[in-house]
Each structure stands twice: as C-alpha cells, then as structure tokens.
C-alpha cells in the first residue's frame, strides 16, 4: 500500500502526519503502533519522535491520535497538536478549529507569526490535574508539589501533574541541566519501577530571566527530544506556582529546538495553558509500505518545504543565542 505523509515539527519535535480523514487509508490500533516503531526509526530515511494520525470526529473538526516512536499511544501532544491544527485549518479553510484528543476536545487557532514567515498556531492544553492518580504516580499521598521523590534524587524537588499526559517537573540550576542526572532519573521512571507504572515525561526547567525559561525534556516513549509541548506548558504552570512567572502573561519558553510562548490561565474549573508556536512542514512524501513483510517500506517521492526549513533555522539560531547568554 502507498501512504502519503507530511513530515512536520513543532520546536524541532518532529512527527509524521498521516491523514485518515477521507477514509482512503485506515489502520487498526495494532497497525498504528507498529507503523510508529517502523517509520519513526531514526536509522531509516524517515525517522521521527512520533506519528500523528488525523481522523474524522463526530463532535469536532477532526481527531488527533498520537503514537510515540516506541509504538505506545499518548493521550496528548502539544507540539504535534500545533501541526495538526495547521493541517486541519488549511484543509478546512478555517482560522480556528476544535480537535478531539484522547481526553478532551481542544481549541486551536492560527496566530500572527511568532517569527518572520513561520506558520504559528495556538493550542489549548487542558485539562490539568495535580492528582497523583491521574498520572499515575504511586505514592501514599494525593499530590506532589515541589517535593523530593526519595528514589529519584536527594537534592531535586519535583511537581507532578497531568496535562493530561503525565509529567514531573523540577526547577534547577544550570549545572543540573548539564549533568547526567536527568538521564538517570528519566530512564529509571520510564523503565520497570514501583512509582510510575505507565512511565512519565521528565522536565528540567532553568529560569533565564523573568518571563523566560529554558526547558529540557526526556519524553516517555521517545527519550530526549528537542522540545515537548505539553512539558513546556506544564513547566510554565509550575514556574507560575513558584512565583517565578505570572499567570495571564506571555512566558517565552526556550528549548533545544527553538522557542514557544505559553500563557497560563486559571478559571473556576482549574488551570489551562495556551501553547503558541510554530507548525513547520519539512517534506511531503509517498511511502510504499509492505504490511505483509514486517512493514518494510520504501520512500517513493519526497518534496521538501525548503523555504519553511530555512526560515525556521533562523528562529532556531536566534533562540540558541538567547539561551547561551544565560547558561
């Protein structure tokens, strides 16, 4: 079978986007997981952090399902949702839309370009929960806010939250960002362990100046990525709770793939976060897939979005220059 796909990224967190909306192509869940393992493999011509499947939705404009590179399905993906937002808005010729995800129907909206000629979208990150059962994190307490987790580290304090995929966030000094500790902690909580039966995304946050933070994330089901949208949203919220940033104000979130902008809101029903950033297309490809032969595949056509790639490289360089001043 032939599959048409778009390689895209949000802050260098890259995905293969496959449209199942028009019914010409559809997969079972088992096939989606296997496809993610095969096509996301970095040793192949494609390679990505995950696959975004775009499907029809009964209530919303479209539905997104996200599979990590290891074949596991995630309940949410912020950077991926921006790419899906662009794809769906352009397909339906709309400026805004609602996308169904595993646990919520979320607003997405085209924004003014974050940087010259960079297609930019806002996506809603919600619901947010601090209940440990929602991650899950198996500790004898209901929440964990700025507290050590004995098995992980003697000096780090973590906040656990689901947005709604699971995250732990710690605010650190530059030396912790550059040390091996994040890798050690992340591999522990994403391997067989008594605390996180489903694994967890692990973010180290370094405040840069008021209104600007740097976030590095080890993603469940992937490993270290250039950026993780839900993690940057969760981290922005945690910095507000710690008095480092303000609600309802822009927080510039720098990462190894560029930067996004978050705004934390609190309403009667809880917190939600605006995640604003690029939705960049890298190439459009046709892939010939042999399902009968272990998903072996061949890339038949590949058309690069050269102008978009070049423009994003400028944003990436400006972001890295900013980070270097403070780290």
Ligand X SMILES: N[C@@H](CCC[C@H](N)C(=O)O)C(=O)O
Name the residue among 52, 121, 151 with its Cα closest to residue 280: 121
Angle at 293 between CA 291 and CA 295, to 5 degrees: 50
Nearer to ligand X, 66 or 181 (CB): 66
Q: Does residue 229 bind ligand X (CB under 6 A)?
A: yes
Measured from the CB atom, the residue of 83 and 289 that comes closer to ligand X is: 83
Helices 78-92 and 229-241 pack at an angle, to 10 degrees, of: 120
Q: Is 228 in the site for ligand X (CB under 6 A)?
A: yes
**Per residue, what are the HEC states of 122-137?**
EEEECCCECCHHHCCC
Kindly write down the DSSP assignment for every residue of 56-68, as one continuous string. --SSSSEEEEEEE
Residue closer to ligand X, measured from CB, 72 or 286: 72
Q: What is the CA radius of gyration of the chain?
A: 19
Site for ligand X in 64-83 (CB under 6 A): 66, 68, 74, 77-80
Q: Annotated catalytic, 77?
A: yes
Write down how long the chain is.
Answer: 327
Q: Phi/psi at 139 (nearest 5 deg)?
A: -130, 155
Q: Please, what is the minimum distance in Å from the beta carbon of residue 1 to ligand X?
A: 26
Q: What angle do CA 252, 229, 129 make, to 5 degrees?
A: 100
Confirm or reject binding of residue 9 to ligand X (CB under 6 A): no
The separation between CA 122 and the C-alpha centre of its own chain, rounded to angstroms, equals 13
Has 293 been labeled as part of a binding site? no
Site residues for ligand X, 162-201, by CB under 6 A, read 165, 201
Contact pattern for ligand X over residues 76 through 115, marking x by CB under 6 A = -xxxx-----------------------------------
Q: 41 among the known binding-site residues? A: no
Q: Is 228 in the active site? A: yes
C-alpha pair distances (Å), 265 with each of 6, 29, 118, 127, 128: 32, 35, 25, 12, 11
Minimal distance, residue 93 CB to ligand X, in Å:
26
Cβ nearer to ligand X, comparing 70 with 147: 70
Q: How many residues bind ligand X (CB under 6 A)?
A: 17
Q: Does 220 bind ligand X (CB under 6 A)?
A: yes
Q: Contact positions toward ligand X, by CB under 6 A?
A: 13, 66, 68, 74, 77-80, 165, 201, 219-222, 228-230
Active site residues: 77, 228
Binding site for substrate, by residue number, is 13, 68, 78-79, 165, 201, 219-220, 229-230
């Amino acid at each position: 079978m032939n599959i048409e796909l778009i390689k895209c990224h949000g802050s260098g967190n890259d995905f293969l986007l496959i449209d199942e909306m028009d019914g010409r192509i559809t997969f079972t869940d088992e096939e989606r997981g296997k496809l993610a393992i095969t096509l996301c493999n970095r040793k192949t011509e494609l390679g990505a952090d995950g696959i975004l499947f775009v499907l029809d939705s009964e209530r919303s404009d479209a539905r997104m399902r996200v599979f990590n590179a290891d074949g596991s399905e995630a309940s949410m993906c912020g950077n991926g949702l921006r790419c899906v937002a662009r794809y769906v808005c352009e397909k339906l010729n709309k400026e805004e839309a609602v996308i169904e995800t595993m646990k919520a129907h979320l607003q997405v909206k085209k924004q003014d370009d974050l940087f010259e000629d960079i297609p930019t979208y806002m996506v809603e990150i919600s619901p947010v929960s601090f209940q440990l059962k929602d991650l899950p994190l198996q500790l004898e307490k209901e929440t964990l806010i700025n507290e050590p987790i004995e098995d992980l580290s003697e000096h780090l304090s973590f906040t656990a939250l689901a947005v709604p995929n699971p995250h732990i966030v710690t605010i650190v000094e530059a030396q912790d960002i550059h040390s091996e500790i994040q890798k050690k902690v992340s591999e522990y909580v994403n391997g067989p362990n008594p605390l996180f039966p489903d694994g967890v995304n692990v973010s180290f946050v370094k405040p840069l100046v008021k209104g600007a933070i740097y976030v590095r994330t080890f993603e469940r089901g992937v490993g270290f990525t250039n950026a993780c949208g839900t993690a940057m949203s969760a981290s922005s919220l945690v910095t507000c709770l710690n008095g480092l940033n303000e609600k309802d104000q822009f927080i510039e979130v720098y990462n190894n793939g560029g930067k996004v902008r978050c705004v934390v809101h609190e309403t009667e029903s809880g917190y939600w976060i605006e995640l604003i950033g690029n939705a960049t297309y890298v190439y459009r490809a046709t892939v010939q897939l042999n399902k009968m032969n272990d998903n072996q595949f061949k890339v038949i056509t590949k058309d690069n979005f050269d102008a978009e790639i070049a423009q994003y490289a400028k944003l990436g360089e400006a972001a890295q220059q900013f980070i270097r001043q403070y780290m």
